[in-house]
Amino acid sequence: MTGTSSDARLITPTMIAAWLVLATVPLWISKVGLYPYIGVEILIWSIYALAFNLVLGVSGLPSFGHGAFFGIGAYAFGLTQFNVAANLWVCLIGATLAGAVAGLLVGLFIAHRRGIYFALLTIAFGQIFWTISVKSHSITGGEDGLLNIVRLPVNLGVVAFDISDNDSLYYFVLAVFAVVAVVLWRLVNSPYGRLLSAIRQSEVRTAHLGYNVWLYKLSIIVISAGFSGFAGGLFAMAQRSAFPDVMNLAQSGLVVMMTLVGGGLVSFWGPVIGVIVFLTARDVIGAMTNAWMLYFGTMFVLLVLFRPDGIAGAFKLLVERWKARGATPSLSSAPRSG
Amino acid sequence: MFDLLPHLLNGLVLGLLLALIALGFMLIVGLMEQINLAHGSLFALGAYLALALTGPNPPLPSDLAALWLQVPLGWRYGIALIVAPCLAGIVGIAVEFCMRRTYGSDPLYGLLLTFGVALVLEEVLRLTWGTRDHVLPIPQSMSGGFIFGDLIWSTYRFYAAGMAAVVIGLVWLFIEKTPYGAMIKAGAHDSEMVRALGVNLSKLRLGVFMLGTMLAAFAGIVVAPIWGIRPHMGVDAVVPAFLIIVLGGVGSFWGAVIASLLVGLAVGVSGAYASEWSLLSMYLLLVAVVSFRARGLFGKKSMLEV
Percent of chain B surpassing pLDDT 90 = 34
Q: At B2, is the pLDDT very low, low, confident or very high (cuts 50, 70, 90)?
A: low
Separation of alpha carbons A318 and A109, rounded Å: 42
Question: A49 with A255: CB under 8 angstroms?
Answer: yes
- pLDDT given for residue A241 in this prediction: 92
Q: How many domains, in total, are found in chain B?
A: 1
Note whether ipTM > 0.85 here. Answer: no
- Residue A300 sits at the chain B interface (C-beta within 8 Å): yes
Q: At A283, is the pLDDT very low, low, confident or very high (cuts 50, 70, 90)?
A: confident
Q: How many domains, in total, are found in chain A?
A: 1
Separation of alpha carbons A229 and A289, rounded Å: 33
Bridge partners of B147, per DSSP, are B152
- The reply to whether A193 falls in a domain is yes
pLDDT in tens, B8-30: 888 999 999 999 999 999 888 88
Closest CA relative to residue B74, chosen from B142, B141, B139, B147: B139
Q: How far is A253 from chain B (nearest CA, A)?
A: 8
pLDDT in tens, B149-169: 777 788 888 899 999 999 999
Predicted confidence (pLDDT) at residue B249 exceeds the cutoff of 70: yes
- pLDDT given for residue A5 in this prediction: 53
Determine phi and psi for B148, rounding to 5 degrees: -145, 125
* CB spacing of B239 vs A123 below 8 angstroms: yes
pLDDT in tens, A227-252: 999 999 999 999 999 999 889 888 89
- pLDDT given for residue A3 in this prediction: 45
Closest CA relative to residue B29, chosen from A106, A229, A116: A116
Question: Whole-number mean pLDDT of chain B?
Answer: 86
Chain A with chain B: Cβ pairs closer than 8 A: 109
Selecting from A124, A260, A301 the residue whose C-beta is nearest the C-beta of B120 gives: A301
* CB spacing of A123 vs B305 below 8 angstroms: no
- Residue window 118-147, chain A: list those with CB within 8 Å of chain B: 119-121, 123-125, 127-128, 131-132, 135
* CB spacing of A257 vs B112 below 8 angstroms: yes
For residues B306 and A305, the model is more confident at A305
Q: How many CB atoms lie within 10 A of CB B298?
A: 18
Predicted confidence (pLDDT) at residue B1 exceeds the cutoff of 60: no
| Probe site for chain A from B247, B283, B295, B305 (most A CB atoms < 10 A) | B283
Q: Which chain A positions have a beta carbon within 8 Å of B294's beta carbon?
A: 113, 117
Q: Which chain A positions have a beta carbon within 8 Å of B283's beta carbon?
A: 124-125, 127-128, 131
* CB spacing of B123 vs A121 below 8 angstroms: no
Q: How far is A80 from chain B (nearest CA, A)?
A: 25
Q: How far is A229 from chain B (nearest CA, A)?
A: 22
* CB spacing of A300 vs B116 below 8 angstroms: yes
- pLDDT given for residue A199 in this prediction: 93
pLDDT in tens, A154-183: 888 778 888 888 889 999 999 999 999 999
Q: How far is A115 from chain B (nearest CA, A)?
A: 6
* CB spacing of B109 vs A296 below 8 angstroms: no
* Coil, strand or helix at A290: coil
List the end-to-end C-alpha distance of chain A, in Å, as a whole number: 12
CATH number where B53 lies: 1.10.3470
Report which secondary-structure segment, H or E, holds B12.
helix B5-32
Predicted confidence (pLDDT) at residue A1 exceeds the cutoff of 80: no
Q: How far is A21 from chain B (nearest CA, A)?
A: 32
Q: Which chain B positions have a beta carbon within 8 Å of A125's beta carbon?
A: 283, 287
Determine phi and psi for A155, rounding to 5 degrees: -95, 110
Percent of chain B surpassing pLDDT 70 = 97
Half-sphere exposure of B86 (CA within 13 A, CB side): 6
- pLDDT given for residue A335 in this prediction: 46
Predicted confidence (pLDDT) at residue A207 exceeds the cutoff of 70: yes
* CB spacing of A116 vs B111 below 8 angstroms: yes
pLDDT in tens, B88-99: 999 999 999 988
- pLDDT given for residue A328 in this prediction: 53
3-state SS track over B189-225: HCHHHHHHCCCCHHHHHHHHHHHHHHHHHHHHHHHHH
Q: Which chain B positions have a beta carbon within 8 Å of A67's beta carbon?
A: none
Predicted confidence (pLDDT) at residue B197 exceeds the cutoff of 90: no
Could you give the C-alpha distances from B169 to B45, B185, B218, in angstroms and in order?
Answer: 24, 17, 15
pLDDT in tens, A5-30: 566 777 788 888 888 888 888 888 88
- pLDDT given for residue B161 in this prediction: 93
pLDDT in tens, A29-53: 888 878 888 999 999 999 999 999 9
Nearest CA in chain A to B240: A124
Separation of alpha carbons A161 and A170, rounded Å: 12
* CB spacing of A301 vs B117 below 8 angstroms: yes
- The reply to whether A243 falls in a domain is yes
- The reply to whether A170 falls in a domain is yes
Question: Whole-number mean pLDDT of chain A?
Answer: 87
DSSP letter (8 states) at residue A247:
G
Q: Which domain holds residue B218?
A: 2-305
User: What's the whole-number mean pLDDT along residues A117-122?
Assistant: 85
Q: Which chain B positions have a beta carbon within 8 Å of A118's beta carbon?
A: none
Bridge partners of A161, per DSSP, are A154
Separation of alpha carbons A176 and A78, rounded Å: 19
Nearest CA in chain A to B292: A109
- pLDDT given for residue B304 in this prediction: 54
* CB spacing of A116 vs B107 below 8 angstroms: yes
b/e burial code for range B135-153 (CB count within 10 A of at least 16 → b)? ebbbbeebeeeeeeeeeeb
Q: Which domain holds residue A103?
A: 13-247
| Probe site for chain A from B25, B36, B120 (most A CB atoms < 10 A) | B120
For residues B10 and A98, the model is more confident at A98
Predicted confidence (pLDDT) at residue A336 exceeds the cutoff of 60: no
For residues A37 and A114, the model is more confident at A37
Q: Which chain B positions have a beta carbon within 8 Å of A249's beta carbon?
A: 235, 239
The CA radius of gyration of chain B, in Å to the nearest whole number, is: 20
Q: At A326, is the pLDDT very low, low, confident or very high (cuts 50, 70, 90)?
A: low
* Coil, strand or helix at A161: strand
Predicted confidence (pLDDT) at residue A258 exceeds the cutoff of 50: yes
DSSP letter (8 states) at residue A328:
P
Residues of B near A (CB-CB distance < 8 A)?
35, 98, 101-102, 105, 107-109, 111-113, 115-117, 119-120, 122-124, 126-127, 232, 235, 239, 242-243, 245-246, 276-277, 279-280, 283-284, 286-287, 290-291, 294, 304-306
